[in-house]
Structure 1
Amino acid sequence: MTRDAAISEAERYFDSGRFQSDLAGLVEYQTESQNPDQRPELYRYLAEAMLPRLKAMGFDCEIHDNPDPRGGPLLIGERVEDSSLTTVLTYGHGDVIRAQTEQWREGLHPFRLVEEGDRLYGRGTADNKVQHLINIAGLESVIAARGRLGFNVRIVIEMSEEVGSSGLPEFFAAHKDRLAADVLIASDGPRLQPDVPTMFMGSRGGVTFDLVLDLREGAHHSGNWGGLLADPAMILSHALSSICDRRGQIRIAEWRPDSLTDNVRAALKDLPVTGGEGPSVDADWGEESLTPAERVFGWNSFAVLAMTSGVPEAPVNAISSRARATCQLRYVVGTDPDDILPALRRHLDAEGFQQIGIEPHDRGFFRATRLDPDHEWVRFTAASLERSSGRKPHILPNLAGSLPNDSFTDILGLPTVWVPHSYRGCSQHAPDEHVLKPLSRDALRVMAGLWWDIGARSNSSAG
């Protein structure tokens, strides 16, 4: 009954090949939540892959239909050892992004686990099947070593995260008592470096919208009408350039957050955002006064995701009648989400672009969240990860991307700590998605240690 015994149990799980076999089984479920034809797979994943394993660990589990007809099912489970002990809520999502089967490299397939060197390829390996598998296996390792967890745990597995977690807020509001806990500890997203544990305590929010300029009916010959008809693409380009300057610095005052405090700056100091796999960072892009880490984790960023006018794949000599740009603002705490689009409207009007329409996307985005880096659960988790790995973890106030953390913070009222088990070069949401074997083994070790430490802390507090 020692911490080392729990970590050794996690190592044996990996070294024996059981981890890889279990992950292969999860990857085979074609849980594309964006594909309506795969809806039965969403239920099958919970009923066949999750339910038996959790019940074998002593969880009482239920599978629920989603209150939103667009969303997939959800599983709730709980293992209560003593009501006086700490209760941890953990989470994962079993749905995956579209397979993009034809775009995978020869020899790979999205729904078959393929091993190549230190990489395990398959859809969901990085996002998110491997992540909740590691956390569940870590719990099993503690039970095997201690005979119990030493704390209570509740779990939610949803099947709609890749479509904006449809129905999750409503589900949480309806089951608030059933999901009551002291803290959320869950896993999603990447480590900053593969060999160093990472923690983050929230995420940036996001708003996606189209800017549309529709000037007239049909296109007209550029020779006969050039110089007489306004060009919607040029006008829209000038409107976009009024939102940011030439290095991407945001010009809309309401889009510039006020939350980059000294405490947040200190947490971000010296965090690596360059190097490793992926494109090189453009040093002269983004807010000039900020470090690269502050730009991506502590500030807002505006992007044009796509832009069209005319027929790009078959251009003709004609002045187009309309132009459209799909845009996105990723924002941090300190930005009023309800004023993002109204502020844009005021800005465009003031700049003389009253004709340009703003069309919000239907897909909901999660709101920005952040837990203070000095919170007691942050300090506790960081100490545990360092003890297991021998390295100080990278601590982010929030993830640069987005996830449904606002449902945990705003509805359930929980402090949230995320410990990701992937890395930035994993090809998440792209063909050839994969996870690293050494990282997975290390993640199993640190999670077994963290679950053990929570049990020791819980019993100490109860005593």
Structure 2
Amino acid sequence: MLSEKIRRNAESYVDSGGFRDELARLVSYPTESATAEGRVAIKAYLDEVLTPALTELGCTVTEHANPDPAGGPFLVGTRVESADRPTVLCYGHADVVEGLGQQWSDGRDPWRLTVDGDRWYGRGAADNKGQHLVNLAALRLLLAEHGELGFNLTMLFETGEEIGSPGLAEFAAAHRELLAADLFLASDGPRLDAATPTLFLGSRGGLGIELDVDLRTDSYHSGNWGGLLRNPATTLAGAVSSLVDGHGRIRVPELLPPELPDEIREALADVRVAASPGDPVPDDGWGEPGLTPAERLYGWNTLEVLALGAADVDRPVNAIPGRAKAVLQLRYVAGTDVDRAGELIASHLAEHGYPTVDVSITGRFAASRTDVDGPWPRWARALLEEATGGNVAVLPNIGGSLPNFVFTDVLGMPALWLPHSYPGCLQHAPDEHLLAPIAREGIVLAATLFDAIGHPTTDHPLPTLGREDAR
């Protein structure tokens, strides 16, 4: 169990303003991966922030080119204490989404940390600079106290997570020896809610789907041609409803997971979603029937319409449009086969009378998770429950997508995610913020897990070192 001294030092680092001041420096780098200016800032962030931070931890630091020209470089820090000690792989991303500076409230600057009570506003404060700073701080505290970590450390930072992690899987496959570890432990995404420390074990996958009904170049008067010409907007509406009905239920069996395993149902039995103040209330009768809200969010698939349009909806004219388009997204759990999704959707639409709808898959992110009953999740849960008095949520995966498959499937190791944010943090939107109490508690929880790896006890022995429980 974490010593009282380390716990006090962790809490004091936040209470004294040290964490806030360090985060302010990190936020000041406008590391947008989608812009040329941002990529310059990313290089400076690697050189001026992360390399010194990793060097301070006794790491040898190397920068690696991305095998995908669409992505930026990777930074790897390695600290080897002994060949007979376990190795932990940690991860973070240096990039952020667009700052959207003109849209922030009260004149806030996305590149300047603004404190308003417990809310610390700034782009990247929650996603992901504040989160990887929590872990760096926890490691520093342990090293200062013990003079060692007690395990070997590899830290991987990518620079393109916000644009889909181009090249990450290829880089990992090509550098298996460099990144080999007994356990992956990182922080990204949100907790279940602001008050509940959370451990999640993977992520749902994402599949972008575009439907296009392009029937003619011109629009034709609805009075003269209505009832004679096929309306692409009406066709598209029918096509969408044949895929997902008006109550959010997926109508294509091949887009559903094969089952909801008993262990996943059990893990989610006491999980309550949308429990933070200001959260919208889940709608009754929406989504897959017979499932709880937690099961629908973390254990099942959803097909959402993200955009739908024909002509100009704000200034319609009395004419049948020539074209209509829709953008959908399938969020899917591990075990769902999406390799032939485009072909299956097109076949389903043709069978239901919509052969004129063109189907395109516009992007995909793989789903993956570590076994919820595996030894490492059980080990981590016991430690976190002891540290918090039992108030811990363990989720099989988050509802969104992260490159978890790179670590579980490509590198073949169990993955634990300990998030230091919450669903209402407004990541990717104006007014992104980190909650100070979560950062304060997060350093303690991260230090608890790291310290238990380096200094196991009879009450909390390490699981058998290996990778057999990742899938």
Both proteins in one fold, TM over 0.5: yes
Q: Distance in 2 between matches of 1:275 and 1:441?
A: 21
Shift of 1:2: 6.5
What are the equivalent positions in structure 2 for 1:37-436 lying under 5 Å apart?
37-276=37-276, 277-361=278-362, 364-436=363-435
1-structure distance, mates of 2:370, 2:56: 34
| Cα contact 2:255–2:338 (8 A) shared by 1 | no
Q: Which 4+ residue blocks in structure 1 deviate beyond 4 angstroms?
A: 458-462
Does structure 2 conserve the Cα–Cα contact (< 8 Å) formed by 1:2 and 1:145?
no
Contact 1:151 / 1:458 at 8 angstroms: preserved in 2? no
CA shift digits 1:249-277 (9 cap, x unpaired)? 11111111124111110001020103313
Structure-2 separation of matches of 1:33 and 1:435 = 21
Does the CA contact (< 8 Å) of 1:9 and 1:145 recur in 2?
A: no
CA distance in 1, matches of 2:373, 2:36: 43
Q: Secondary structure at the match of 1:423?
A: coil
Quote the Cα distance in structure 1 between the aligned partners of 2:242 and 2:364. Answer: 25
| Identical aligned residues as a percent | 48
Per-residue CA shift, 1:433-459, capped at 9, x if unaligned?
001111110101111111111111299
Q: What is the aligned residue count?
A: 460
**By how many angstroms is 1:350 displaced?**
0.9
Using the alignment, how far apart are the partners of 1:309 and 1:322 within structure 2? 6
Match of residue 467 from structure 2: none
Q: Is the 8 A contact 1:81 1:152 kept in 2?
A: yes
Q: Which amino acid aligns with 1:280?
A: V
- Using the TM superposition, give the Cα deviation of residue 371 of structure 1 relative to its aligned residue in structure 2, in angstroms: 1.4
Name 2:9's counterpart in structure 1.
9
Is the CA contact (8 Å cut-off) linking 2:2 and 2:448 kept in structure 1?
no
Cα shift at 1:56: 1.4
**3-state SS of the aligned residue for 1:338?**
coil
In structure 1, C-alpha distance between the alignment counterparts of 2:373 and 2:219, rounded to whole Å? 59
Amino acid of the structure 1 residue aligned with 2:345: L
2:41 matched to 1:28? no
Instruction: State the one-letter code of the partner of 1:160.
Output: G
* Shift, 1:243, TM fit: 0.9
- 1:185-223 Cα shifts (integer Å, max 9, x gaps): 001111112222101111000100210001112112222
Distance 1:282 1:252 in 2: 22
Cα displacement string for residues 103-137 of structure 1 (whole angstroms, at most 9, x for unaligned residues): 11123111110000110001111111111100110
1:147 partner letter: G
Report the CA distance between 1:45 and its aligned residue: 1.0
- 1:177 is paired with a residue whose SS is helix
Alpha-carbon distance between aligned partners in 2 of 1:400 and 1:226, rounded to the nearest angstrom? 43
How far apart, in 1, do the equivalents of 2:147 and 2:177 lie?
27
> SS of 1:173's equivalent?
helix
Does the residue aligned with 1:343 lie in a helix, a strand or coil?
helix
* TM-score (norm: length of structure 2): 0.95
Moved more, 23-32 or 4-13: 4-13
Cα drift, residue 339 of structure 1: 2.3
Counterpart CA distance in 1 for 2:385 and 2:141 is: 19
Instruction: Provide the secondary structure at the position in 2 that maps to 1:299.
Output: coil
- TM-aligned CA distance change 1:2 to 1:146, over 3 Å: farther
How far residue 375 of structure 1 moved from its aligned partner, in angstroms, is 0.9
Q: Give the counterpart letter for 1:319 in structure 2.
A: I
Q: Distance in 2 between matches of 1:259 and 1:412?
A: 26
| Distance (whole Å) between structure 1 residues aligned to residue 412 and residue 179 of structure 2 | 11
Where 1:422 maps in the other structure, the secondary structure is coil
Tell me the alpha carbon deviations over residues 403-426 of structure 1, each in whole angstroms, 9 at most, x when there is no partner. Answer: 000111111101101010001111
- Comparing 188-197 with 297-306, which one deviates more in the overlay? 188-197
SS at match of 2:456: helix
Cα distance in 2 for residues equivalent to 1:239 and 1:358: 11
How many angstroms apart in 1 are the aligned matches of 2:201 and 2:169?
19
Secondary structure of the residue aligned to 1:106 is: helix
Q: Is the 8 A contact 2:204 2:331 kept in 1?
A: yes
Q: C-alpha displacement at 1:370, in angstroms?
A: 1.4
Q: Do the aligned partners of 2:342 and 2:360 also contact (CA within 8 Å) in 1?
A: no
Q: Which amino acid aligns with 2:296?
A: R
CA distance in 1, matches of 2:2, 2:384: 16
Unaligned runs of 5+ in 1: none
- Residue identity in the other structure for 1:67: P
Deviations 1:264-307 (A, max 9, x none): 10001020103313221112100111111100100000011001
Deviations along 1:307-338, one digit per CA (max 9) or x if unpaired, are 11012243222110000001110001121020
TM-score after normalising by structure 1: 0.96
**Residues 134-182 of structure 1: CA distance to partner in whole angstroms, max 9, x if unpaired?**
0110001111111111111100011100000001011111111000000
* 5+ long unaligned stretches in structure 2: 465-471
Report the residue type matching 1:343 in the other structure: L
Determine the C-alpha separation between the residues in 2 that align with 1:312 and 1:100.
26
Q: Decide whether aligned partners of structure 1 residues 2 and 254 sit closer, same or farther in structure 2, where only a CA change above 3 A counts.
A: closer
